[in-house]
Amino acid sequence: MNIRQITAADTLQLRRDVLYPNESLEAVMVENDRDGLHFGVYDQGQLVTVVSLFLGRDSAQFRKLATLPAAQGKGYGKAVLAHLASVCQKERIKLLWCNARDTAASFYDKLGYIKKGDYFMKGGIRYIKMELPLEQHTMTKKFEVIPAIDIIDGKCVRLTQGDYSQQKVYNEHPLEVAKEFEAIGVRRLHLVDLDGAKKGAVVNWKVLESIAGKTGLVTDFGGGIKTGKDLDIVFECGAALATIGSVAVKQPELFFSWVKQYGAEKIFLGADVKEEKIAVGGWLETTTLSVFDFLESNVAAGVTNIFCTDIAKDGLLQGPSTALYKKIIERFPGINFVASGGVSNIDDVAALQEIGCSGAIIGKAIYEGNISMEALKTFL
């Protein structure tokens, strides 16, 4: 999926075919089309969604949102509306609104839009005005710092660039570490079973069970989830989300079935990259699959929670791959994107927030003392 600005003329064919199939192209033009900003969503080169945005002084109206019937239900509309909200916020617009067809009102309602006034008729179609206050709307991404605990032999460790021969033990009791994070107000935890990732099956489930049972942290767990049984173990042991990487690459249909079965909100897609190519198997195998192609197919399938780790940066404390992450966010504006790898200080965290990340996973910078617990509090 790729969202980009297009011309008014580019919108007309799809606008007509979806919304007014019996009208001419001229009939579906808007009187002030020339003054609007027009956006298109492309999937594998095909224009699948269009929308037009008209900016006012404090508010903006979008009109003629249309998605090809075969592409509906895949998140394109939600993604382009999130993009419009981002555009409006940069222009200091406080309110985004539309006149929604009554058949689409429930769609906007789920995105946080509020009905205003009464239904009205226009051209034989029933409409209702719906508004989204941008200063508090639900699509705004709340940035979260997410400490990482990597586990080998039941101990809290960190690797350098995913190299199992370069591991350092920081604490033999991961629960103690988790409680320290919770004590300062941390809400999320990223727990990685490195033994499981290497073996191809969940190994350190007891660590997960202990942390989930003795803290209130919202924990995502990854490493070694290869079967439905592994996934059941992870959720039964208390994980709020399951982090999955290799299966999504090697068995996409199985992965998509899990997304459908458990819900996108329960799945955290891990995109581990090396030179913009996807890596799997605990980073031991680099594929030829581009991270952008990988994410495009997953976003189209309804995946919304994604984190990306640049292996070349991980554990080096030399700064994250901000440029890469910015490219991903710009191409897939509707996702909850969490950055991982390379964070060296609190300024790196601020930079990731600035480019639009939903959160940042931080490991070695905390354990080596580069980021203090007090500094973390500024993002809580």
Residue 150 annotated in active site? yes
What residues contact residue 62 under an 8 Å CB cut-off, 6+ apart?
51, 52, 53, 54, 81, 84, 96, 97, 98
The single residue of 150, 220, 314, 348 carrying the catalytic annotation is 150
Q: Which candidate in 272, 310, 314, 348 is catalytic?
A: 272
Catalogue the active-site residues: 150, 272
